A and B are shown apart, each in its own frame.
Chain A
């Protein structure tokens, strides 16, 4: 398996294009030459958009979806190798290069296999069929009598290779969506735990992350952000930088302020020493009253995600009621390596290297900000530190573009400092959920209603910080088509359970305090948190076992099978919550949570075992049992890796994470004020994968995140009889919940 990183700086200057390839081991690969006269197609309905076979029979896959540290590269390579019948080491992958890879929309929502991978499978199957037909004609053997071994098509005593058939040429074929694909039972590469070939170079310091990428003549840029988000830059005293070695320029455009220096350390020192004055600005809500602010925010529109029966009437008629409000804090992406990009401008042509999860989208944004035609911008993806949503990579690219332009187009590398990342990456927005249910005299749930308060369009491109600060007038970014499903954030607010009357509504809010983008499992995480906790509240209210209660309201055989498997994996013992024995200081509890993800039909359930110390309010999560069904699995070990990662990351968000801010800006600007889970706090994760080789593959990763907060909250209820309805579950909140439940011992029936 090969990895290509394009460094095609000279494409437009020389009229020739050169792709320099680095293997993971940095051994030089022969350069792949192309000529600008036959520019590679990036059309997403063309086989040539996704695949090429060179004269040596080497296959290159061109993927618009990119590997954000998830192992996607390996899985996509497996899919292509399998469907083309070539060995893995014949297949290389180029990702996220706007001149080479089709626009498949941003890499998000765990859709890269489900959508991106399936497109590559279709392209490969279309190519394979064409190759077999060509071989049949050339060999004079019936297509049905041919077989393929590692790119060699054989029939009787004759054979011909892919290279001989198309090597170096193009297919010029539309992708056939209905092309027959291989029978999964015959797979030898897909469905196997292929080791990730990026790992040897990553563990030995040989891998080139975006943060490591360097080109000749490159200068170093850093940004100086306003002290308050909406502050005006009033003055800059450039003499404060006298004596900084290597300083080239202080760059000011509107409220955008940055420096360029010959060395990275010079640039960092310049940002520390530069004297600038900013106006006051206090436009953020008061953190202590955040939820009042959210509740008072103007609602742009309502989206009804489920409407069954007549919940208003049923609630009115119900003899017993239960209601609760859940909230989920503002989170930061928190990539370990701050965002980084390199931009160079040559004769008006912009080349941008970044770890953007959507290079085609970034290209449109850069073209608009820099006021150049789209054709003059070339964006190339280079894998960076893991990212879990649209973090700051695109913004760093915008910064680098302005800085490069200010120094005559010389290549400028911008890496954000930690405070830039914590302070200015777009945030996971605050979400508030109201729930109510009606219960009849027999303990039956007759009505369920919920209202979610969520920001509006989560799929629109987030503007570049540099464009906003430099006051570049907003240019509408025309997207060729809407990627993904705009309902992705809200659809899961509908519940997977059958009650006779249900109404779930998402109030789409006009604004939210910070520039926002979603962090892992957008919306679905918050929806599942509220829904799965409230289901647990209902089970406790009617005195049912939480697992039984779910099963008895689940009309979905695949989901029911998953829950049964979870019960046996976790050795679930039937019981009601809370447990009786909660007089000790440290009390154990166990909670369950379940979700059917959207838009992927991935099913996931979890049981969390926890201990909570009633004196300190500290929750210790000992283990998570997870059963996960994402249909066909391409790389089982890769899926397990994703599940473990999502459980641990989301546990961190659940127990610890909350953005801090004052009226002007973010104040949690580093890891001491925005702590994340550390090794001593990490639980065991025990996973069972349901493999359905003949089913369609669906998303893996984010679905596992969605079940975490409710499993923990429900376990705390099991242990102590108190409900945690506000993420993060800090010790202070646990203590407050214990205290208030002591004052108000049980919910009125």
Chain B
């Protein structure tokens, strides 16, 4: 039985029709709303690549159900900025050339954004800790750390 769920995503209120409102938020974002920022990596809460901000707190969209996200503010990578107008964290990733394949960057940028919202000048160990659950297989870690430091300096 299709159900409508209303979501606030990137500042827009949208309604998605789903068969199962217990479905993880990730699939609504990707399949119903055609967003590409949050990505499927493991579906098990182990890699961080599906992260989004929910009322400004980072959550794993593969783990949280659609109903839990209703009536809260969801912000995805797209909601932070665009190629023409990237957010300070996104710009820092561009400046540091912090990508290889870039598949993991969604989790990195969402968690870095959340970190910098709370911690003005994080130390390298603090950055590493904040990103400890975000996996990167290409080994882009050092550039990612430099990007977060750069974004912190700019903030």
Which stretch of A175-183, A281-289, A332-340, A731-739 is in the interface? A332-340
Chain B residues, Cβ within 8 Å of A263: 18-19, 27, 31
Instruction: Give the interface size bracket for B toward A.
Output: 35 or more
Q: Are B100 and A205 in contact (CB under 8 A)?
A: no
Collect the chain B residues with CB atoms within 8 Å of residue A407's CB: none
Q: Tell me whether B44 and A670 are in contact (CB under 8 A).
A: yes
Q: What are the interface flags for B87-106 relative to A under an 8 Å C-beta threshold, 1 for contact and 0 otherwise?
A: 00010011001111111111
Inter-chain contact count A-B, CB under 8 Å? 193
Q: Are A685 and B142 in contact (CB under 8 A)?
A: yes
How many angstroms from the CA of A201 to the CA of B86 in the assembled complex?
9
Given A69-B103, A199-B99, A265-B23, the answer on whether A338 and B40 have CB atoms closer than 8 Å is yes
Inter-subunit contact B82/A204 (CB<8 Å): yes
Contact B43 A206 (CB under 8 A): no
Q: A212 to chain B: which residues have CB within 8 Å? A: 30, 36, 39
Indicate whether B20 reaches chain A with its CB closer than 8 angstroms: yes
A676's partner among B20, B83, B98, B135 (CB-CB below 8 A) is B135
Chain B residues whose CB sits within 8 angstroms of the CB of A672 once the complex forms: 46
Contact check, B132 vs A678: say whether CB atoms are below 8 A apart. yes
Q: Which of A141-149, A291-299, A645-653 contacts B (4 or more CB under 8 A)?
A: A645-653
A104-112, A380-388, A573-581 - the one binding chain B: A380-388
A481 at the interface (CB under 8 A from B): no
Question: In the complex, what distance in Å separates the CA atom of A336 from the CA atom of B43?
Answer: 11
Quick check: A385 and B77 within 8 Å, CB to CB?
no
In-complex Cβ contact of B97 among A199, A336, A415 (8 A): A199
**Cα-based distance from A202 to B47 in the complex (angstroms):** 18
Inter-chain contacts of B13 with A (CB < 8 A): none
Query: B84: which of A25, A645, A646, A680 is its contact (CB, 8 Å)?
Result: A25
B 105-141 contacts with A by CB, 8 A: 105-106, 109, 125, 127-129, 131-141
A742 within 8 A of partner (CB): no
Are A383 and B143 neighbours in the complex by a CB distance under 8 Å?
no
Which residues in A have their C-beta under 8 angstroms from that of B133?
678
B149 at interface, CB cutoff 8 A = no
CB distance from B66 to the nearest CB of A (A): 10
The interface residues of chain B lying within 8 Å CB-to-CB of A71 are 100
Instruction: Determine if B41 and A68 form an interchain contact, defined as CB atoms under 8 angstroms apart.
Output: no
**Quick check: A196 and B76 within 8 Å, CB to CB?**
no
The answer on a CB contact under 8 Å between B142 and A265 is: no
Whether A45 is near chain B, meaning CB under 8 Å from some CB there, is no
CB <8 Å contact, B20 and A69: no
Task: Kindly identify, within residues 560 to 612 of chain A, every residue whose CB is under 8 Å from any CB belonging to chain B.
Answer: none
Counting chain B CB atoms within 10 Å of each CB, which of A205, A649, A682 scores highest?
A: A205
> What would 7 A/B residue contacts be, using CB atoms closer than 8 Å?
A200-B94, A204-B86, A205-B36, A214-B34, A644-B140, A645-B139, A678-B135
Chain A to chain B: the 4 pairs with minimum beta-carbon distance, closest first? A69-B101, A205-B37, A386-B101, A648-B139
